[in-house]
Amino acid sequence: MSYAVDRRGFLRAAGVGAAALGLGPALASCDSGRQSGSETVTLTWWDYFTLDNFQPAFARLVKDIEANVPDVRIERRTFPFADLDRQITLGAVSGDLPDIAIVDNVAMNSLGGSGLLADLTGRVEEWGQAGKYYAGPWAGCQVDGKTLGIPNNSNCLALYCNTGLLDAAGVKPPATWDELADTAQKLSGGDRFGLAMSAIRTEEGVFQFLPFLWQAGGDLDTFATYGATALSFLDDLVAKGSLSEQCVGWTQQDVNTRFVNQRAAMQINGPWQLPTLKQADLEWEVVALPRDRASATCLGGENWVVMESSKHQDKAWEVLEYTQRPSVLVPFLVALGNLPARKDLADTGTWASDPALRLFLSQLPVARPRQYGPHYADASQAVAVAEQAVLTGSAAPAAAAKSAAVKIDKALERR
């Protein structure tokens, strides 16, 4: 197949200039299995699951694929999370790209319009299983009317509550913004805050802020109005001592640590914290994020993609299709502690019997992807700057939202 990529445009969208090519060692060459006449095709596979506890699940999956997808051998390569997008960017110039990859769903913003991803629309239509996926994860794989990936797994945010502290204060888990503000204030005192969340100046903080924007009834294209509403709500929590100003420096892991140490009575976080919480000496439950005008949470997770440069796209698609079989996908996701993006798997796996996992699964229908085009990173940075300015008291919510909206609108106009 043809391989036409606007490489300069892609590098600009990804924030990497030509000089970046000299910042690190050259990519190790990979046997892409593109030699003609080979009985067995070697498919190169890139992902960022580098931690030791992930390796047994991936080793089993690779072995399963090689045993059950005819004439396929997998050559898997891992990169640190922060490096995978950059390696793909460099590969767009050097021509050294994998056949398949597992990428963060936010990466679809930059990759989707780059020409680097194979169009899977026809294969998906023939496959006939698109309707089995939750709307949010599936929408995260759609770019300009084309299907450029398949959701691998999903996660989202919810509200964890220390039930012991809530019971002692005579309050219930909040379901609305008004209830959240009231409950957080009643649970605050001493060195404990009623609510903890991440507002760090990275995508991690924006991931936690966007639900408030959506719950207010807005989106990035109405940030001047609804961004001000969301920022004002959080600013009020800080002013009343219900949320620590120090949240501007907290990662989501920092937030969970404060919750475990009972220095926060409630926290906004995801299902990846469940293993730690289940081992903690703590009574807790998890509920949906409180709503304002709407219910909303932010979608996280990964997508499978096939590279347009691959000379074995049919075989790569066979691999993707095989990984989505329930008999393959369920044990893989269970081993990783992830949630399925498929609706038809809601009643299988550990998430079927675990109340906390079921809660997160129940929120996927209102989980929204951050699908805003190749310049989303610029919009995200503007949101992060505005939130930091407001929560540290250096700008009023309306002024910060108006200033951010100018930058956000410019980023969205370039879609």
Residue 247 CA to residue 392 CA, distance in Å, equals 10
Asked whether residue 306 is domain-assigned, the answer is: yes
Separation CA 154–CA 366 (nearest Å):
12
Check whether 371 has a pLDDT greater than 50: yes
143 within some domain: yes
For residue 191, the tally of other CB atoms under 10 A from its CB is: 9
pLDDT at 216 over 50: yes
Domain co-membership, 109 together with 74: yes
pLDDT digits (tens, 9 = 90+) for 230-243: 999 999 999 999 99
Q: Indicate if 219 and 291 belong to the same structural domain.
A: yes
Tell me the mean pLDDT in the region 140-154: 95
User: Same domain, yes or no, for 216 and 329?
Assistant: no
Reported confidence tier of residue 349, pLDDT bands at 50, 70, 90: confident
Give strand pairing partners of 117.
307
> So what's the pLDDT on residue 147?
98
pLDDT greater than 50 at residue 215:
yes
Taking CA atoms, 215 is separated from 39, 187, 211, 368, in Å, by 54, 23, 6, 11
Q: Which residues contact 190 (CB under 8 A, 6 or more apart)?
A: none
Same domain, 266 and 148: no
The whole-number average pLDDT for the span 130-149 is: 95
Q: How far apart are CA 318 and CA 298, in angstroms?
A: 30
Q: Tell me: do 151 and 234 sit in the same domain.
A: no
Asked whether residue 7 is assigned to any structural domain, the reply reads no
Residue 7 has pLDDT above 50, yes or no: no
Domain assignment present for residue 22? The answer is no
Condensed to tens digits (0 to 9), the pLDDT of residues 25-43 reads 333 334 443 344 458 999 9
Residue pLDDT, tens place only, 298-342: 999 999 999 999 999 999 999 999 999 999 999 999 988 889 999
Question: Long-range contacts: 82-88, Cβ < 8 Å, 24+?
Answer: 83/48, 84/46, 84/47, 84/48, 85/14, 85/110, 85/111, 86/14, 86/16, 86/20, 87/27, 87/46, 88/46, 88/116
Q: pTM score, two decimals?
A: 0.84
Residues 289 and 166 in one domain: yes
Phi, psi of 58, rounded to the nearest 5 degrees:
-70, -35
Q: What pLDDT score does 401 carry?
A: 99
DSSP string, 290-318: PBSSS--EE-EEEEEEEBTT-S-HHHHHH
CB 352 within 8 A of CB 358: yes
Q: What is the CA radius of gyration of the chain?
A: 22
Q: Does residue 407 lie within any of the structural domains?
A: yes
Helices (H), 26-80: 55-68
Q: Are residues 304 and 317 in the same domain?
A: yes
Q: Are residues 194 and 288 in the same domain?
A: yes
- Report the C-alpha gap between 366 and 134 in whole angstroms: 9
- Give a yes or no: residue 103 inside a domain: yes
Are 79 and 186 contained in the same domain?
no
Do 263 and 378 lie in one domain? The reply is yes
Angstrom CA distances, 76 to 26, 49, 65, 304, stand at 18, 11, 12, 14
Given a cut of 60, is residue 413 above it in pLDDT?
yes
What pLDDT score does 24 carry?
40
Please give the Cα distance from 340 to 152 (Å, whole number).
Answer: 7
Mean pLDDT across the stretch 176-199? 98
Confidence check: pLDDT of 187 > 60: yes
Number of domains in the chain: 2
Q: Is residue 227 a part of any domain in this protein?
A: yes
pLDDT higher than threshold 60 for residue 21: no
Q: Is 7 exposed, middle or buried (0-12, 13-18, 19+ CB in 10 A)?
A: middle
Mean pLDDT computed over every residue of the chain? 91
Calpha distance 199→208 (Å, rounded): 7
Give me 252's structure tokens. 């989501």
Residue 150 has pLDDT above 80, yes or no: yes
The secondary structure element, H or E, covering residue 194 is: strand 193-196
Q: How confident is the model at residue 415 (pLDDT cuts 50, 70, 90)?
A: low
138 burial (CB, 10 Å; 0-12 / 13-18 / 19+) is buried
User: CA 178 → CA 175, 185, 264, 353, 390, distances in Å?
Assistant: 8, 11, 19, 32, 20
Q: Alpha-carbon distance 247 to 244, whole Å? A: 6
Range of the domain at 273: 158-298+372-413
**Dihedrals phi, psi of 386, to nearest 5 degrees:** -65, -45
pLDDT of residue 38: 57
Stretch among 91-95, 402-406, 411-415 having the lowest mean pLDDT: 411-415
Same domain, 398 and 251: yes
Q: Which two tokens stand for residue 356?
A: 């906390």
Looking at the structure, tell me whether residues 132 and 166 fall in a common domain: no
Answer yes or no: is 49 within a domain. yes
Residue 358, domain CATH: 3.40.190.10
Q: What SS3 class is residue 146?
A: strand
pLDDT tens-digit map of 381-399:
999 999 999 999 999 999 9
